[in-house]
Structure 1
Amino acid sequence: MEKTLTFQHVSYLWDEAKALELSGDEVALFLYRSNLLGADLRLTNYAGGNTSCKLTETDPVTGQPVDVMWVKGSGGDIGTLTKAGCANLYVDKLHALKSRYRGLPFEDEMVALFEYCLFDPKCATPSIDTPLHGLLPFRHIDHLHPDALIAIAASQDGEQIMRDIWGDTMGWLPWQKPGFDLGLQLEKIVADTPHLRGVILGGHGLFTWGNTSYESYINTLEVIEMAATYLEAHYGQRKPVFGGVKLENGPDADTRRQQAAEVMPVLRGLASGQRRMVGHYTDDARVLEFVNSHDLARLAQKGTSCPDHFLRTKIRPLVLDEATMRQPLAAVKEYLQEQFAAYRQDYAAYYERSKHPNSPAMRDPNPVVILWPGVGMFSFAKDKQTARVAAEFYTNAINVMKGAEAVSEYTGLAEQEAFNIEYWLLEEAKLQRMPKPKSLSGQIAYVTGGTGGIGLAICELLLQHGAVVVATDRDRLEETQADLRKKYGQDNALTTPIDVTNAPAIADSLRTTVLQFGGVDIVVNCAGLSISKPLSETTQADWDILNDVLVKGQFLVTQQAVEILRKQRLGGDVVNIASKNGLVAGPNNVAYGTAKAAQLHMSRLLAAELGADKIRVNTVNPDAVLRGSKIWEGDWAAGRAKAYGVSVEDLPAHYAKRTLLGEEVLAEDIAKAVLVFVDGSLRKSTGNVLNVDGGVAMAFVR
Structure 2
Amino acid sequence: MVKNFQYVDYLWDEQKAASFGDDQVALFLYRSNILGADLRITNYGGGNTSCKTIEKDPLTNEEVEVMWVKGSGGDIGTLTRSGIAGLYTGRLRDLKNVYGGLADEDRMVGLFNHCIYDLDSKAPSIDTPLHGLLPFKHIDHLHPDALIAVAAAKDSEQVTKEIWGDTMGWVPWQRPGFDLGLQLEKCLNDNPGIRGIVLGSHGLFTWGDTSYECYMNSLEVIEMASEYIAKKIKEKGSVFGGQKIESLGKEARLDKAAVIMPLLRGLASSENRMVGHFTDSDVVLEFINSNDLDRLAPLGTSCPDHFLRTKIQPLVLNLSTGENVEDTAAVLEKLKPAFAQYREEYKQYYETCKHPNSPAMRDPNPVIIIYPGVGMFSFAKDKQTARVASEFYVNAINVMRGAEAITEYTSLPRQEAFDIEYWLLEEAKLQRMPAEKPLSRKVAIVTGGGGGIGKAIADKLVAEGAVVVLTDLSKDALDAALKTYKKDQAEVVVCDVTNEAAIAEAYKKASLAFGGVDIIVHSAGLAISKSLEDTTLKDWDLLQNVLVKGQFMMAQQGVAIMRKQGLGGDIVNIASKNGLVAGPNNVGYGTAKAAQQHMTRLLAAELAADKIRVNTVNPDGVIVGSKIWEGEWAEGRAKAYGISVEELPAHYAKRNLLNEIILPDDIANGVFACVSVLNKSTGNTINVDGGMANAFVR
Place the TM-score, normalised by the shorter chain, in its bin: over 0.9
Return the offset for 1:267. Answer: 0.4
Return the offset for 1:61. Answer: 0.9
- Report 1:288-303 matches (<5 A): 288-303=285-300
Aligned partner of 2:203 among 205, 227, 234 = 205
What is the TM-score of this pair, normalised by structure 2? 0.98
CA separation in 2, counterparts of 1:478 and 1:413? 46
Q: Is 1:548–2:545 an aligned residue pair? A: yes
- Report 1:610-625 matches (<5 A): 610-625=607-622
Q: What's 1:484 paired with?
A: 484
CA separation in 2, counterparts of 1:696 and 1:138? 72
CA offset digits 1:55-86 (Å, max 9, x no partner): 11111111111111011111111111111111
Return the offset for 1:396. Answer: 0.2
Q: Is the 8 A contact 2:455 2:481 kept in 1?
A: no
- Stretch deviating more after TM superposition (24-33 or 286-295): 24-33
Aligned partner of 1:574 among 555, 571, 574 = 571
Q: Is the 8 A contact 1:468 1:493 kept in 2?
A: yes
Q: Is the 8 A contact 2:381 2:441 kept in 1?
A: yes
CA separation in 2, counterparts of 1:324 and 1:665? 53
Aligned partner of 2:558 among 561, 575, 579 = 561
CA offset digits 1:526-547 (Å, max 9, x no partner): 1000000111111111111001
Q: Is 1:688–2:687 an aligned residue pair? A: no
Q: Is 1:448–2:447 an aligned residue pair? A: yes
1:257 is paired with a residue of what secondary structure?
A: helix
2:240 is paired with a residue of what secondary structure?
A: helix
Q: What's 1:335 paired with?
A: 334
Q: What's 2:434 paired with?
A: 435
1:281 is paired with a residue of what secondary structure?
A: strand
CA separation in 1, counterparts of 2:144 and 2:133? 23
Q: What's 1:83 paired with?
A: 81
**Identity over the aligned pairs, expressed in percent?**
65
Q: What's 1:460 paired with?
A: 459
One-letter code aligned to 2:374: V
Q: What's 1:507 paired with?
A: 504
Q: What's 1:74 paired with?
A: 72
CA offset digits 1:62-116 (Å, max 9, x no partner): 1111111011111111111111111011111011100110000111100000000
CA separation in 2, counterparts of 1:561 and 1:376? 24
Return the offset for 1:325. Answer: 7.0
CA separation in 2, counterparts of 1:531 and 1:294? 62
Aligned partner of 1:152 among 150, 153, 178 = 150
Q: What's 1:59 paired with?
A: 57
- Report 1:216-255 matches (<5 A): 216-238=214-236, 240-247=238-245, 249-255=246-252
Aligned partner of 2:182 among 171, 184, 195 = 184
One-letter code aligned to 2:119: P
CA offset digits 1:184-235 (Å, max 9, x no partner): 1101110111121110000000000111111111111000000000000111
Aligned partner of 2:304 among 300, 303, 307 = 307
What is the TM-score of this pair, normalised by structure 1? 0.98
Q: What's 1:15 paired with?
A: 13
Q: What's 1:25 paired with?
A: 23
Q: Is 1:638–2:625 an aligned residue pair? A: no
One-letter code aligned to 2:527: S
Aligned partner of 2:524 among 515, 522, 527 = 527
Return the offset for 1:124. Answer: 0.8
2:493 is paired with a residue of what secondary structure?
A: strand
Q: What's 1:418 paired with?
A: 417
1:126 is paired with a residue of what secondary structure?
A: coil
2:598 is paired with a residue of what secondary structure?
A: helix
Aligned partner of 2:585 among 584, 588, 595 = 588
- Stretch deviating more after TM superposition (560-569 or 681-690): 681-690
Q: Is the 8 A contact 1:242 1:405 kept in 2?
A: yes
CA separation in 2, counterparts of 1:670 and 1:215? 56
CA offset digits 1:320-346 (Å, max 9, x no partner): 123387144321111111111111001
Q: Is the 8 A contact 1:443 1:466 kept in 2?
A: yes
CA offset digits 1:447-479 (Å, max 9, x no partner): 001111111111111111100011110114444
One-letter code aligned to 2:548: V
Q: Is 1:662–2:659 an aligned residue pair? A: yes
Q: Is 1:387–2:360 an aligned residue pair? A: no
CA separation in 1, counterparts of 2:504 and 2:320? 27
CA offset digits 1:413-439 (Å, max 9, x no partner): 100000000000000000000111110
Q: How many aligned residue pairs are there?
A: 695
CA separation in 1, counterparts of 2:275 and 2:662? 34
Q: Is the 8 A contact 2:321 2:373 kept in 1?
A: no
Structure 1 gaps, min length 5 = none
Q: What's 1:377 paired with?
A: 376
CA offset digits 1:469-496 (Å, max 9, x no partner): 11110114444343332xxx21111111
CA offset digits 1:491-518 (Å, max 9, x no partner): 1111110000000011111101110000
CA separation in 1, counterparts of 2:503 and 2:77? 38
Q: What's 1:396 paired with?
A: 395
One-letter code aligned to 1:98: K
Return the offset for 1:663. Answer: 1.4
